[in-house]
Every structure is written in structure tokens, then in C-alpha cells.
């Protein structure tokens, strides 16, 4: 089974299939599948971040493969637009549904995502959601696990935090977050004791860093000792790296699902083995 890897995921795995992806002088994307894969099963590995051009590159690759009647098993380590999974005010687009509709029209044999942001995405798209949580937790030191509690920085992280607490056999602290504006976060309260304890903040992604930075500041004021963040996807938009390096957070654990330039507090956990296990599972079907 050949593996085709688009530009957005070439830092994760080397492809065995040949494809060309380039730009015309006006910026239009050009995609060509060089190998003959007519009626074959293939793997297509692609990210959708940055979300505009990489989603379009993926759609064009799917179109090229459909023209060869290839049976595509799609692996998307990080899927964009999952956060826009509902209309909060009149006139908003539900971008998660629109993106899912584009993917569905090419009828891939299977879709696998690593830690999709929203469970509601499954309303629009049929996919296997693979967790990187155990992999991230395996990178904690023994000393860091002592006297540790897990913190969920918002409601969306509660389920993930509970799973981590079961794995590490420790308690969960729930934080109340509100957003006074886009990309702004404030913590209003914490439900649970963190005094003189190491705290592991669990989330699926770090974008601007606002949520975990606000959580760390609140936890420090509440008497927490060392604060570690574990998140699957390092989106790190704007000046997130600079802000995280200047924050109360001691260490940030993230996977390499997205290619990034991490700061001094970051520890990168490689996903190549996990992706090969996903491919092995597909091969065995």
C-alpha cells in the first residue's frame, strides 16, 4: 500500500508514493499523482494547517486520486475548523460542517484524526479519533508525577483530564473559564485543591496560549507548585511561544502533529511511531 504525503505533513513521515504539489505564479495550487494507483488502496497523510491553502491542497489531492479510482485511507493528524462546530449568533457559518462536506464528497474509505478538538465534529464527518494522551503522559518524569493533580482549563478539556487522571491515578481540578472576546481567556474559579501540588494542565491544542497561561497564573496564585502543560497540537499562532516562555508554566509537552518552532520550555513528542501503527492497522483490515 503506497503512502502519499502532502507538504503539510512531510515532517511526520516519508511517503512511498510519488506526487507533485506546487504553485503557479498567481498562487494557484497544482497537484498531480505521479504513480499509477488505479483501483489500488492507498494512504494519504495530510494536515489542514495553515487551514486555507492546506485544506485546498488536500481537496485537490483527493480529486486527483478519485480520477484514478483509488481507495483512499485518509490520515489527518490535525484537522482545522473543528472549533467552529455550531452557530452561536445569527449569520455565522458552521465551518466544521462545511469542511466535512468537502471531504465527504470524495468518499474516502476511512478517515483517521489525532485528537479532534470537538466531539460534535462526528455529527458531520465519520472518522476514527486516535488519542495521543497516553504518549504525552509517558514523557512525564517520575518526580513530576509525585503529588500531582490534573487540571481541565475549560469544559471542553474535562473528558480528556478525567482520562489522564485514570491513567496517572490522581484527582482532577476543574477550572471555570470565560472569554471576554475572541482569543481572550480568563479563569474565574477552580473546583479542587492545588495547594503545594504539581499541576498538569491537559488540553487538545495550544493556539494563542491564552487559556493555559491564564490557568497557570490562577493556579500559582492558588498555591500550586510546578505547572506542566500537555497538549497534542501546537498551533502556536501569533506570539504564543514568546508568551508561554514568559509564563508561570515550567514545561510544555506537545506532539509534532504540526511543524513548529518551539520555545525553551517546550518538549516535542514525535508521532511517527503512532502514525505507523495507524497505517499498520489499516493494512491489516
- Grid coordinates of 269: 513528542
Catalytic residue among 146, 177, 220, 221: 177
Q: Following DSSP, what letter does each residue of 114-168 receive, concatenated? A: ES-S-GGGGGT---EEE--HHHHHTTS-HHHHTTEEEEESSGGGHHHHHHHHHHH
- Residue 193 to residues 2, 76, 170, 227, 245, Cα–Cα distance (Å): 51, 38, 12, 14, 26
Asked whether the beta carbons of 39 and 2 are under 8 A apart, the reply is no
Contacts of 248 by beta carbon, 8 Å cutoff, 6+ apart:
213, 216, 217, 219, 220, 227
71 is catalytic: no
HSE toward the beta carbon, residue 107, CA cutoff 13 A: 5
Residues designated as active site: 177
Amino acid at each position: 500500500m503506497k503512502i502519499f504525503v502532502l507538504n503539510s505533513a512531510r515532517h511526520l513521515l516519508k511517503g512511498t508514493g510519488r506526487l507533485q504539489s506546487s504553485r503557479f505564479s498567481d498562487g494557484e495550487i497544482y497537484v498531480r499523482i505521479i504513480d499509477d494507483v488505479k483501483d489500488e488502496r492507498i494512504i494519504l497523510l495530510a494536515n489542514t494547517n495553515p487551514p486555507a491553502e492546506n485544506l485546498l491542497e488536500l481537496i485537490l489531492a483527493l480529486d486527483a486520486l478519485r480520477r484514478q479510482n483509488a481507495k483512499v485511507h485518509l490520515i489527518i493528524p490535525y484537522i482545522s475548523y473543528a472549533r467552529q462546530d455550531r452557530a452561536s449568533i445569527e449569520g455565522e457559518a458552521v465551518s466544521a460542517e462545511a469542511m466535512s462536506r468537502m471531504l465527504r464528497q470524495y468518499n474516502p474509505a476511512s478517515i483517521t484524526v489525532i485528537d479532534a478538538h470537538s466531539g460534535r465534529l462526528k455529527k458531520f464527518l465519520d472518522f476514527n479519533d486516535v488519542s495521543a494522551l497516553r504518549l504525552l503522559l509517558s514523557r512525564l518524569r517520575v518526580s513530576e508525577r509525585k503529588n500531582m493533580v490534573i487540571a481541565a482549563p475549560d469544559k471542553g478539556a474535562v473528558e480528556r483530564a478525567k482520562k489522564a487522571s485514570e491513567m496517572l491515578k490522581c484527582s482532577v481540578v476543574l477550572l471555570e473559564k470565560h472569554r471576554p472576546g475572541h482569543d481572550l481567556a480568563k479563569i474565574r474559579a477552580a473546583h479542587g485543591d492545588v495547594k503545594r501540588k504539581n499541576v498538569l494542565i491537559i488540553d487538545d491544542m495550544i493556539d494563542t496560549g491564552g487559556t493555559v497561561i491564564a490557568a497557570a497564573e490562577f493556579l500559582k496564585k492558588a498555591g500550586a507548585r510546578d505547572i506542566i502543560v500537555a497538549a497534542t497540537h501546537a498551533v502556536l499562532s501569533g506570539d504564543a511561544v514568546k508568551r508561554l516562555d514568559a509564563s508561570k508554566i515550567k514545561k510544555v509537552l506537545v506532539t509534532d502533529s504540526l511543524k513548529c518552532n518551539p520555545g525553551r520550555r517546550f518538549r516535542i513528542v514525535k508521532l511517527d511511531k503512532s502514525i505507523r501503527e495507524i497505517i499498520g492497522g489499516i493494512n491489516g483490515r
